[in-house]
Amino acid sequence: MNEGLIKIESPAAPKAVGPYSQAIEAGDFLFLSGQIPLLPSGEMVPGDIAAQTEQALKNVGAILQVRGLTLADVVKSEVFLKDMEDFAKMNEVYSRYFRESVKPARSTLQVARIPKDALVEIACVAYIKK
């Protein structure tokens, strides 16, 4: 059933904290699990939504880099916020990372709780040019 799927891991991003992979390559796409603001050592980044969004996006970038991709290759992202009141500050940081003229499609949701009580989690799908 997992034929053709490739597990992707980056030592520059935190290890999975549960029974999942950092990312899975399936055909022309790379599916990244949600990244919370953990340092590669597994410690939570202290600070507000801006600092936590920055670290979550750094983690996404580190995983993409394993496959030679960048944030410019992301076609879909999902942002989960603990508090929708943080949307503007999160969006300010997010927009610095996604500067391409064609930005990824995105969903942003407020959720009841994020692992490790993070303020933000970001998942995405990237297109692998072949």
Cβ count near 48 (within 10 Å): 11
Q: Which residues, at least 6 apart from 4, have a Cβ–Cβ distance to it below 8 Å?
A: 26, 27
pLDDT at position 129:
84
- Is residue 60 within 8 A of residue 32, CB to CB? The reply is yes
Nearest partner of 126 among 57, 26, 5, judged by Cα: 26
The CATH number that domain 5-127 falls under is 3.30.1330.40
pLDDT at position 1:
63
pLDDT at position 119:
98
pLDDT at position 34:
97
What is the side-by-side order of every strand in the sheet holding 29-35? 5-8, 23-26, 29-35, 120-127, 74-81, 105-110
Instruction: Provide the Cα torsion 119, 53, 25, 76; round to 10°.
Output: 90
pLDDT at position 74:
97
> Per-residue pLDDT tens for 50-87?
999 999 999 999 999 999 999 999 999 999 999 999 99
| pTM for this predicted structure | 0.95
Q: Which secondary structure element, helix H or strand E, spans residue 92, and what is its range?
A: helix 87-97
Per-residue pLDDT of the chain (130 residues; tens, 9 = 90+): 678 999 999 999 999 878 999 999 999 999 999 999 999 999 999 999 999 999 999 999 999 999 999 999 999 999 999 999 999 999 999 999 998 888 999 999 999 999 999 999 999 999 998 7
Distance, CA of 86 to CA of 72 (rounded, Å): 24
Distance, CA of 53 to CA of 46 (rounded, Å): 11
